[in-house]
Copies of this chain bind each other. A is one copy, B any other.
Amino acid sequence: MANPTAILLISCPDQKGLVAKIANFIYSNGGNIIHADQHTDFAAGLFLTRLEWQLEGFNLPRDLIAPAFNAIAQPLKAKWELHFSDSVPRIAIWVSKQDHCLYDLIWRYRAGEFAAEIPLIISNHPNLKFVAEQFGIDYHHIPVTKDNKIEQEAKQLEVLREYNIDLVVLAKYMQVLSADFVNKFPQVINIHHSFLPAFVGANPYHKAFERGVKIIGATAHYITSDLDAGPIIEQDVVRVSHRDEVEDLIRKGKDLERVVLARAVRSHLRSRILVYGNRTVVFD
């Protein structure tokens, strides 16, 4: 699919004619819908949809699509986002000392799995600078302590602005972001090394070992001000047994963390995630 497409993510109170109205908007302007997926949350009374159409042959110039659609969306009380498939979001990967998610994200980016740029790595440790150097990515070492957290977060925000970052991916960044930071930069995906809501907080693999579970998991979610409680994007699990010690759980967990985080980032980049309340619809 080399042709660029436009994508609408829409949520609004359910009512008759929504599909028709939106499809007509696209069709009457000459657009060819290639993907349409719709979900109704009956409990919430919400209509949620994702539409993707080819821009080739579409009569509206890009900059007029949003205002034109707004005229339709407003009477429907719809919340909506417009994306273009050929826009290239800029990602900052944040890490601490572990490199598995970092290498994995870089490899996928280079393999063409992510339609994005990765110009920036931020870390509270210097350890992974060599990885950044291997692949020619800038590395900012911004150490964070309890005492300097506020000023370092200001510095982090400044660097994000400087690099025009659209999305922060916490790839095993072992620090909690303040509510203030999340308010100022809300587009943050985190990987938590447990099957949330089990084992919230620190040392989930140790806790899982203590509890004697037979399966461990990993969870990718958007960051909110509430620790490990943001909207879940993706989860996966792997079987463990009595033969696995904590270090085996950690090792097996790394494989989970890599794929779960990568799937979440890819869904986000392809504009397939619609957040409402504390839930996500992932249109696959």
Contact = CB atoms under 8 A, between A and B. Distances in A.
Interface of A: 1, 14-21, 23-24, 26-28, 30-43, 48-49, 57, 99-100, 103, 107, 111, 113, 134, 195-199, 211-215, 217, 231-237, 241-243, 245, 251, 254-255, 259, 277-282, 284
A1 to B, nearest CB: 7
A243 B14 CA distance: 16
Given A24-B24, A198-B198, A213 B241 contact: no
A214 B242 contact: no
Contacts of A198: 195-198
For the complex of A and B, the 10 pairs showing the least CB-CB separation, nearest first, are: A20-B27, A212-B279, A20-B23, A198-B198, A36-B38, A19-B23, A242-B281, A17-B27, A214-B235, A16-B32
Contacts of A35: 38-40
B213 A232 contact: yes
Contacts of A277: 212
B242 A280 contact: yes
A212 B231 contact: yes
A50 to B, nearest CB: 10
A75 to B, nearest CB: 15
A250 B152 CA distance: 42
A81 B282 CA distance: 28
A158 to B, nearest CB: 31
Nearest to A25: B20
A12 to B, nearest CB: 13
Given A212-B277, A212-B279, 14 more contacts: A15-B32, A17-B32, A18-B33, A19-B36, A20-B26, A24-B24, A34-B40, A35-B39, A37-B38, A113-B251, A212-B278, A214-B235, A242-B280, A242-B282
Given A33-B38, A197-B198, A16 B20 contact: no
Contact of A213 (B99, B196, B245): B196
Given A43-B245, A215-B195, A278-B212, A237 B237 contact: yes
A214 B243 contact: no
Given A23-B23, A195-B215, A196-B213, A31 B43 contact: no
Contacts of A40: 34-35
